[in-house]
Amino acid sequence: MNKNNNESVDLARRIVLNTQGIKKVDVVICPPFTSLAPVFSVIKDSNVKLAAQNMYYEDSGAYTGEISGKFLKILGCEYVVIGHSERRKLFNETDIDVNKKIKKAIEIGLTPIVCVGETLEERENGETEKVVKKEIEGALQDQTGKEKIIFAYEPIWAIGTGKTAQPEDANKIHNLIRNIVKTDFKIDETAVRILYGGSVKPSNAEALLSQPDIDGSLVGGASLDAKSFTEIIKAAVSLA
């Protein structure tokens, strides 16, 4: 919940300017709902794509305060973030809610970016793999079009804290996700895109992105500054 309309448009303009000519990586920005339309007007002729931070699993109806994925598509969204840890923790979203949202997103042609990850307590108790496996299975259960899903591993203890998983540790969980989708859901693991999120910044982006199973970054605070976000994008480009 950052950046009003004017601030969002200004940030989007800077990102578009800074990423002109970049073709090797996908750049996606996720402004608040209130900024989606004006931001799309800025990026629509660039290689920067638009995502929403959340959506509901019904097309329309008496769901005051919720947003339909179909509304998002009309505004130019191609992607939607689903199951972010803050949605799960602060707004009590369950694996069932996440599953329904994924199903609807795929049905209407939005690419879901599905977040999974453990808390500090779960990490200290040695439950990381158990938690991630449960959330992956909850997301993929009874889904069609599973190969369209992008996963984002975001260790909750690293979000906004300045702490970052060691690149090798993060890669281990990415490899776990890849094996789960292959073994349990018969998805081509080489085609699955898995992002890392959790205090990604210019100083650690290259080390994280150079890991074999980390395909990209889900950037939080560093994306609110055009310069730092661009440096992360350029780190990805250098490794592409």
Looking at every residue in the chain, the average pLDDT score rounds to 94
**pLDDT computed for residue 163 by the predictor:** 75
The string of pLDDT tens digits covering residues 113-152 is 999 999 888 888 999 999 999 999 999 999 988 889 999 9
Q: What pLDDT sits at residue 93?
A: 96
Catalytic residue list contains 84 = yes
- Residue 87 has a pLDDT of 95
The answer, yes or no, to whether residue 164 has pLDDT greater than 80, is: no
pLDDT confidence band for 240 (50 / 70 / 90): confident
pLDDT of residue 7: 98
Tell me the fold of 5-239.
Answer: TIM Barrel (3.20.20)
Give me the mean pLDDT over the 188-212 stretch: 93
pLDDT at 162 over 90: no
Which candidate in 86, 93, 154, 174 is catalytic? 154
Q: Which of 84, 93, 135, 174 is catalytic?
A: 84
Q: How far apart are CA 200 and CA 220, in angstroms?
A: 7
H/E element, 11 = helix 5-18
pLDDT score at 55: 98
When pLDDT is cut at 50, 70 and 90, the band that residue 214 belongs to is very high
Q: What pLDDT, on a 0 to 100 scale, did the predictor assign at position 23? A: 87
- Report CA torsion sign: 36, 37, 42, 47: positive
8 Å CB contact between 147 and 191: yes
Average pLDDT over residues 192-205: 94
Q: Which residues contact 218 (CB under 8 A, 6 or more apart)?
A: 81, 113, 115, 152, 154, 195, 196, 197, 200
For the stretch 6-64, pLDDT in tens is: 999 999 999 999 999 998 999 999 999 999 999 999 999 999 999 999 999 999 999 99
Looking at residue 191, what is its pLDDT?
86
| Domain range annotation of the chain | 5-239
| Strand ranges inside 110-180, DSSP E | 111-116, 150-153
Whole-model pTM?
0.95
Q: How far are the Cα atoms of 51, 113, 128, 179, 209 from residue 46, in angstroms, in the given order?
A: 14, 21, 39, 35, 24
Tell me what pLDDT residue 27 has. Answer: 97
